[in-house]
Amino acid sequence: MADYPKDDFNQLIKRFGAFLTVKISNVFHSLDSRSIGALAGLAFAVVFTWRVLRSPSQRRRPKRLTGAPSSSSASSNTNANVTTSASNPSPENSRAQNVVDEFFQPEKPTLGQIVRQRLSEGRKVTCQLLGVILEETSPEELQKQATVKPSVLKVLLEITKCCDLYLMERVLDDESEKKVLLALEDAGVFTSGGLVKDKVLFCSAENGRTSFVRQLEPDWHIDTNPEIVTQLARFIKYELHISPTKPERAASNVFSSTSLEQFFGCV
């Protein structure tokens, strides 16, 4: 075994043992695809640290002293060596310590993890189109054009991966419906596999959106209309009110944000 200073070696083993305990615990408590990443990280940590501890430079034995120094001289040399070792750790020890410290750095969550966390693992989401997914904010604008916000695409696609998503809006004519569907198709929303055209719903009156939500019974509803948000607060588990200004909170289960992407920390 490598000739580490006893205290440093014990400390290294304890820290690595704690790291293994945390990683193993995370693996057994995680039932989704993240388990594969946790196992891969654990295997890498074990192999890499073993190679560091078994490197040839670590197995070198210190040279024996050719002479027999006096006790006072030996004591002086020992104290000097201890002081030098403490102030100037060997490159091998520093490398091993850096390897372990690197594994203790907190991992930055992915956007998919953030989406699932913010949605409290909700499985069904309904969302208004105007002012949330689309740049346009009124049905009259949709008669001219429909434009998907580029900044919302990543969030929208992540939601479709973990939730049953329904999009809905009030329109004034059939042409507006076609423009919306074409805009969503051109943006690649339907290619992810989580959203199909049949889940984009249209109505001719504002309260039609309320009826859709009541029938679908989602875990989350996202809307810009404060009246609809207030009406649905009694029936929906969570709501997200999108508003350019921070509105007064309608209920404890209603959250607010200036945009969908801002709610998930993307801006």
Answer whether residue 177 is part of any domain.
Answer: yes
| Structural domain range at position 162 | 111-263
- 178 and 138, same structural domain? yes
Q: Considering the entire predicted model, what is its pTM?
A: 0.61
Contacts of 264 (CB under 8 A, 6+ apart): 111, 114, 115, 118, 155
Cα dihedral: 90, 95, 98, 103 (round 10): -150
- 90 and 39, same structural domain? yes
- 50 and 150, same structural domain? no
Answer whether residue 1 is part of any domain.
Answer: no
Answer whether residue 121 is part of any domain.
Answer: yes
Which of these, 163, 157, 159, 152, lies nearest to 129 by C-alpha position? 152
- 95 and 117, same structural domain? no
Per-residue pLDDT at 224: 96
Per-residue pLDDT of the chain (267 residues; tens, 9 = 90+): 445 455 666 666 667 666 666 555 554 555 455 555 656 666 666 656 666 556 554 444 545 544 444 444 445 555 545 454 445 556 556 666 665 555 555 678 898 899 999 998 889 999 999 999 999 999 999 999 999 999 999 999 999 999 999 999 999 999 999 999 999 999 999 987 678 999 999 999 999 999 999 999 999 999 999 999 999 999 999 999 999 988 778 789 999 999 999 999 876
Half-sphere exposure of 251 (CA within 13 A, CB side): 17
Domains held by the chain: number: 2
Per-residue pLDDT at 90: 63
Residue where a domain terminates, one of 68, 103, 138: 103
Q: Which amino acid is at 21?
A: T
Helix spans in 104-152 (H): 111-118, 139-142
- Identify whether the C-beta of residue 183 lies closer than 8 Å to the C-beta of residue 148: yes
- 198 and 86, same structural domain? no
- 99 and 201, same structural domain? no
- Identify whether the C-beta of residue 104 lies closer than 8 Å to the C-beta of residue 215: no
- 258 and 157, same structural domain? yes
Answer whether residue 217 is part of any domain.
Answer: yes
Task: Tell me the C-alpha distance between 105 and 254, whole Å.
Answer: 34
Per-residue pLDDT at 149: 96
